[in-house]
Structure 1
Amino acid sequence: MKRNTIISAIALVAVLGTAGLASAAGMGGHGKADGMGRMGPQMGAPVDFATLDADGDGTVTQAELDAQKQAQFDAIDTDGNGTVSAEELMANHEAKKAERMKDRTDKMIAARDTDGDGVLSLEELTSRPKVSMFDRIDTDGDGAISQAEFDAAKAKMAERGDRGERGHGGKGHHGGKDGGRDKR
């Protein structure tokens, strides 16, 4: 069974490419047509292995991948004419953007709505986070940051920079990969 899963994963890499795998793994991203007939995450919602394995046999066949790709295309081709117009692509992009913005908004309200009324007051909206950076790094809660906690926090921040989080293209907050700071 493990061998079949590995073979299926290799097939996914070959067919979907890196951008498609990011979508399949639910990692988002900004995939583009690569000129070889593959489409990245803009094709549709992230797809997991169980969805690709339509017959539930523990493997993904080329036919199952083709069916998923067709289903994603059909979802964008809203007039069903077999082609995707600029308007249909734009509508798809706008719908995805609206989903992301709703998710972000819901998370913000959940994180800041201290009185639980489902809306944010001026105080809730402008208040500082309840957990300070110090508290985030002090993972054992002993009131002091150990070398291990410091190193773990530094590694986590570097990982975020490498993934390009927060729209900085993997450059950290200050331009360089190390955040623009001198590492003496």
Structure 2
Amino acid sequence: MKKRMMLKRAVHVLILSTAAAVPAVAAQTSGPDGGEMQNRFFQADTNGDGVVSHDEMLTRAQDRFAEWDADGNGFLALEELPREMPGMGKRRMRHHASGEGDGEVKRKPTRMRFMARLDNDGDELLSVDEFTAPMIKRFKRADADGDGAVTQAEFDEAKEAMRRRFRRGRHHQGG
């Protein structure tokens, strides 16, 4: 169960990391993620209207897919995924439920785990549909009013909801 939650979190972070950081925005944001998620929102808002439309989100995801699809065959093989998965810094996990000893180990999600999580048909290749499906699901979850666009407020609420789910999951696991 713990591994599944970590994989979900890793995929979520990767999907949200489909855009590079925007330095000007980083200076305006704070928090435990250093404003990185905030930067992704502004980067995804390609027309600068303050909302991320479904089309903007999907285009960004498809652009990232195309960037990684080195042979241009419309599928991502394991060797085409970056060795250092972007936006997936080291995660700390307690290895003792009681928190005894130093209680922390570092583990970095890998492209193998990313492939395993998204490869729904088991062919060891990711199609653009498999690659974008988790992002679309999270976009729909964030689009609280169902209008096909995620506002800054909806994004912030979705980010907080994700943190609450993550904390609740860690609490129930004794970590």
TM tier relative to shorter chain: 0.3 to 0.5
Q: Report which structure shows greater RCO (CA 8 Å, sep ≥6).
A: 2
Q: Normalising to structure 2: TM-score of the pair?
A: 0.35
Structure possessing the higher radius of gyration over alpha carbons:
1
**Greater share of strand:** 2
